[in-house]
C-alpha cells in the first residue's frame, strides 16, 4: 500500500536533522539534486565503507579502483550507450512538459479498476499536468556531455560517466597485470555517475547525479552462471547483514525486452517502497563478453585471456551494481519507526516519538555524551569521556535541554548509545549508558567505559 505520508515524514526528518537537503536551495533549488548534510554524509559513508569492506577488504579475489568521471566519446560508442542508452520520452503539445512514456503507462496500470485484458495505449493518456495531448514517444539519450579545453572551436567533447563500471573495463588489463591476477577475479569501485533522467521524483531515489557501488567479476564463460548465482546471494545477504527487513526485499528477473543492451541476464533486488511498491534498489547482471569484446574492438587492444590450460577466451563479466543513494534511502525507510512516547516529561506523553532503528555499523553517531548539567565538573568529565573514544567511535556532545529531550533527539537520528554523566558520577565514578531500542540503562564504571563501548561495536 502506498504511504506517501510516511515518505513526507522521512523527507522532513532528513531536512530537519541534517541528513539530506535540496541542492542549491537558497536559489530555489535544482531539480533532483540533493546535498547530504552532516548526518547524511556519515550514514552514506558508513554504507560505502560497509560495502567496500565486504566486497574488497574481506576478500582475496576482488581489488579496488578509482577511475575518472570524465571519459572520451569513444568509450560510450564502444560501450553501446550512445546508441542504446535511451528512455522513451513524450512531450505535452500544450504545456510542453516532458514525461517518461513507460512511467506514464506503469502509473495507469497501477490505478484501481485497471483491466489487464484491455491494456491502455499511450495515446489514450492525457498530460498529467494540464490534460493536453501527448506527442508520440521519442528516444532520449541519458548520457551527459561536456566540453574540455578553453578555446572556442577547439574544444573536445567528453562525457560524464553514465555508469562507473566502464572505468573498470578500461583499466582491466592494467589492474590484472599490476596485481598479477588470474581469473576469476573482480574489480570494485565506488563513485559518481551521471544520467540526464527525464523523470526525477521520489527524493534521492532517482537523481541526475548519483553514486554507484559496482563490482565487475571477470570469469571463464563456462562458469558464468555459477558465479552469477553466487553474487546474487552475496548481495542479498549484505542487505540483511546490515539489518534490512527481509520481507521488504525481493528478487525480480528482467524480461528479455527489458534488459539493457549489454545484459544476457539481469536480476534486480527490489525494495517495497512506501510511495510505489516494489522498486529497483540494486542489480546483478551477466554482461557476457559484451564489454571486453567491444572495448577490444574499438581500442584495437587484445582483451583475450589465456588460461593455465592454454584456452583462449574473452572473459564474461558478472556485475553487481548497487546505488549508494538508493541504499541510503532504503536503509532510512527500513529503520524509520514511530512509537508511543517512551521517554521525556509527563506533559509530552501523548506525542509520538521517532526512532531510527539503524544498524549500529550504519548509525551516523555511535555514542552521544550527555552531561546532566552544563556546569564545570560534569562538563569536564563528559568532554574527557568523549575524547577518550572519538578516535574509534563517532560521537556527539549535547548539553542542552532536558535529558528526555536529548534522548529523543538521539533516537531520531539513530544513535545506538547515550552516555549520561550525572551528579552521582562525581561520587561513584560511574555513568549511565542507555541503549536506543530497548531503552535499557546500565551503570558502567568510567574506567571500563571505553572497553564496554568498543565491545558493543
Q: Which residue is nearest to ligand GAP (CB)?
A: 323
The alpha carbon torsion through 32, 36, 41, 47 (nearest 10 deg) reads: -20
Stretch that binds ligand GAP, among 35-43, 209-217, 360-368, 382-390 (CB under 6 A): 209-217
- With CB under 6 A as the contact rule, the residue among 303, 321, 328, 410 that binds ligand GAP is 321
- With CB under 6 A as the contact rule, the residue among 282, 317, 372, 403 that binds ligand GAP is 282
| Total residues in contact with ligand GAP, by rule CB under 6 A | 19
Binding of residue 195 to ligand GAP (CB under 6 A) = yes
Nearer to ligand GAP, 207 or 418 (CB): 207
In whole angstroms, the minimum distance from the beta carbon of 243 to ligand GAP comes to 19
Stretch that binds ligand GAP, among 121-129, 323-331, 341-349, 354-362 (CB under 6 A): 323-331
- With CB under 6 A as the contact rule, the residue among 51, 140, 172, 210 that binds ligand GAP is 210
**SS percent in the chain: helix, strand, coil, step 5:** 35, 30, 35
Each residue of 398-418: b (16+ CB within 10 Å) or e?
bbeeebeebbbbbbbbbbbbb
| Angle ∠(102,103,107) on CA atoms, nearest 5 | 120
Contacts of 9 (CB under 8 A, 6+ apart): 336, 338, 354
Binding of residue 235 to ligand GAP (CB under 6 A) = no
* In 194-286, alpha helices (H): 224-241
Nearer to ligand GAP, 197 or 411 (CB): 197
- With CB under 6 A as the contact rule, the residue among 14, 47, 187, 207 that binds ligand GAP is 207
Binding of residue 291 to ligand GAP (CB under 6 A) = no
Stretch that binds ligand GAP, among 291-299, 321-329, 336-344, 356-364 (CB under 6 A): 321-329
CB 285 within 8 A of CB 260: yes
Picking from 356, 335, 318, 367, the residue whose alpha carbon sits closest to that of residue 239 is: 335
109-168 positions binding ligand GAP, by CB under 6 A: 163, 165
What is the grid cell recorded at 217?
A: 567479476
Q: How many residues does the chain have?
A: 457
Binding of residue 399 to ligand GAP (CB under 6 A) = no
Picking from 170, 174, 175, 173, the residue whose alpha carbon sits closest to that of residue 159 is: 170
Q: How deeply is 299 buried, as exposed, middle or buried, from its count of CB atoms within 10 A (0-12, 13-18, 19+)?
A: middle
DSSP at 271: E
Nearer to ligand GAP, 203 or 407 (CB): 203
Picking from 162, 166, 214, the residue whose alpha carbon sits closest to that of residue 190 is: 214
Nearer to ligand GAP, 91 or 291 (CB): 291
Nearer to ligand GAP, 206 or 436 (CB): 206
Nearer to ligand GAP, 266 or 358 (CB): 266
CB 442 within 8 A of CB 453: no
Binding of residue 367 to ligand GAP (CB under 6 A) = no
Q: Which residues pair with 412 in a beta bridge?
A: none
What is the grid cell recorded at 456?
A: 558493543
Binding of residue 212 to ligand GAP (CB under 6 A) = yes
Nearer to ligand GAP, 258 or 435 (CB): 258
Interface positions with ligand GAP (CB under 6 A)? 163, 165, 195, 197, 206-207, 210, 212, 214, 280-283, 319, 321-323, 325-326
Amino acid at each position: 500500500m502506498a504511504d506517501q505520508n510516511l515518505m513526507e515524514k522521512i523527507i522532513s526528518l532528513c531536512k530537519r536533522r541534517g541528513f539530506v537537503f535540496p541542492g542549491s536551495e537558497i536559489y530555489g533549488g535544482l531539480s533532483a539534486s540533493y546535498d547530504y548534510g552532516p548526518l547524511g554524509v556519515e550514514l552514506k559513508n558508513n554504507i560505502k565503507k560497509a560495502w567496500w569492506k565486504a566486497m574488497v577488504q574481506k576478500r582475496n579475489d576482488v581489488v579496488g579502483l578509482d577511475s575518472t568521471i570524465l571519459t572520451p566519446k569513444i568509450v560510450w560508442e564502444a560501450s553501446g550507450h550512445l546508441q542504446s542508452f535511451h528512455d522513451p520520452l513524450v512531450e505535452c503539445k500544450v504545456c510542453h512538459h516532458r514525461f517518461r512514456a513507460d512511467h506514464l503507462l506503469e502509473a495507469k496500470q497501477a490505478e484501481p479498476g485497471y483491466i489487464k485484458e484491455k491494456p491502455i495505449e499511450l495515446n489514450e493518456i492525457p498530460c498529467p499536468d494540464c490534460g493536453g495531448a501527448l506527442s508520440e514517444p521519442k528516444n532520449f539519450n541519458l548520457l551527459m556531455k561536456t566540453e574540455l579545453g578553453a578555446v572556442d572551436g577547439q574544444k573536445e567533447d567528453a562525457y560524464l560517466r553514465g555508469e562507473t563500471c566502464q572505468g573498470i573495463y578500461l583499466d582491466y588489463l592494467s589492474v590484472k597485470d599490476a596485481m598479477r591476477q588470474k581469473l576469476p577475479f573482480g574489480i570494485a569501485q565506488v563513485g559518481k555517475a551521471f544520467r540526464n533522467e527525464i523523470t526525477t521524483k521520489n527524493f534521492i531515489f532517482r537523481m541526475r547525479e548519483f553514486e554507484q557501488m559496482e563490482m565487475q567479476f571477470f570469469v571463464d564463460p563456462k562458469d558464468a552462471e555459477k558465479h552469477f548465482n553466487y553474487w546474487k546471494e552475496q548481495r542479498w545477504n549484505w542487505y540483511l547483514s546490515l539489518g534490512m527487513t527481509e520481507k521488504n526485499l525481493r528478487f525480480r528477473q528482467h524480461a528479455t525486452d527489458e534488459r539493457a543492451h549489454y545484459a544476457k541476464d539481469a536480476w534486480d533486488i527490489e525494495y517495497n517502497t512506501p510511495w510505489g511498491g516494489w522498486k529497483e534498489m540494486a542489480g546483478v547482471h551477466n554482461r557476457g563478453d559484451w564489454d571486453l569484446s567491444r572495448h577490444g574492438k574499438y581500442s584495437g587492444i587484445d582483451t583475450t585471456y589465456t588460461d593455465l590450460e592454454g584456452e583462449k577466451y574473452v572473459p564474461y563479466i558478472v556485475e553487481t551494481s548497487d546505488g549508494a543513494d538508493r541504499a541510503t534511502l532504503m536503509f532510512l525507510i527500513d529503520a524509520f519507526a514511530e512509537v508511543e512516547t517512551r521517554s521525556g516529561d509527563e506533559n509530552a506523553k501523548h506525542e509520538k516519538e521517532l526512532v531510527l532503528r539503524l544498524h549500529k555499523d550504519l548509525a551516523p553517531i555511535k555514542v552521544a555524551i550527555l552531561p546532566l548539567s552544563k556546569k564545570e565538573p560534569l562538563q569536564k568529565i563528559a568532554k574527557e569521556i568523549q575524547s577518550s573514544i572519538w578516535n574509534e567511535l563517532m560521537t556527539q556532545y549535547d548539553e542542552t535541554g532536558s535529558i528526555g529531550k536529548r534522548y529523543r533527539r538521539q533516537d531520531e537520528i539513530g544513535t545506538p548509545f547515550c552516555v549520561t554523566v550525572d551528579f552521582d558520577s562525581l561520587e561513584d565514578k560511574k555513568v549511565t549508558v542507555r541503549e536506543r531500542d530497548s531503552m535499557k540503562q546500565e551503570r558502567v564504571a568510567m574506567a571500563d567505559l571505553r572497553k564496554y563501548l568498543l565491545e558493543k561495536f
